[in-house]
Amino acid sequence: GENVEQHPSTLSVQEGDSAVIKCTYSDSASNYFPWYKQELGKRPQLIIDIRSNVGEKKDQRIAVTLNKTAKHFSLHITETQPEDSAVYFCAARNAGNMLTFGGGTRLMVKP
């Protein structure tokens, strides 16, 4: 089955700095990669996703890049704000249409 590794597990940045979270996946047939933000006690919320036929996607301060050859994808958050503090999960959907999540990254943005 699919295995998704996510790094780092915790990330602390100063407000205004950039944050980068990286994920690798094992199943070369995986073709859809969403990112979720989960604040404490709340539901995972989809923030951006990318499909395997695209190398990069951007939405305001958030961007995701995908390298299919290397089987890794990354989330980039620019100009971080305290409200960006949360746990971020990457995920990969394989040919069996199952979504496998990475272990999560706790992002802390210090004012």
Residue 46 touching another protein (CB under 8 A): yes
Among 77, 85, 92, 104, binds another protein (CB under 8 A): 104
Q: Note the residue count of the chain.
A: 111
Residue 16 touching another protein (CB under 8 A): no
In sequence order, the 6+-apart residues with CB closer than 8 A to the CB of 39 are 45, 86, 87
In sequence order, the 6+-apart residues with CB closer than 8 A to the CB of 74 are 20, 21, 22, 23, 64, 65
Residue 84 touching another protein (CB under 8 A): no
Residues 52-81 that bind another protein (CB under 8 A): none
> What number of H helices and E strands is found in the chain?
0, 11
Helix, coil or strand: residue 3: coil
| Minimum separation from the CB atom of position 59 to another protein (A) | 13
Instruction: Select the span of 18-26, 55-63, 76-84, 90-98 touching another protein (CB under 8 A).
Output: 90-98
Which residues of this protein are in contact with another protein, per CB under 8 A? 31-32, 34, 36, 42-46, 49, 51, 89, 93, 96-104
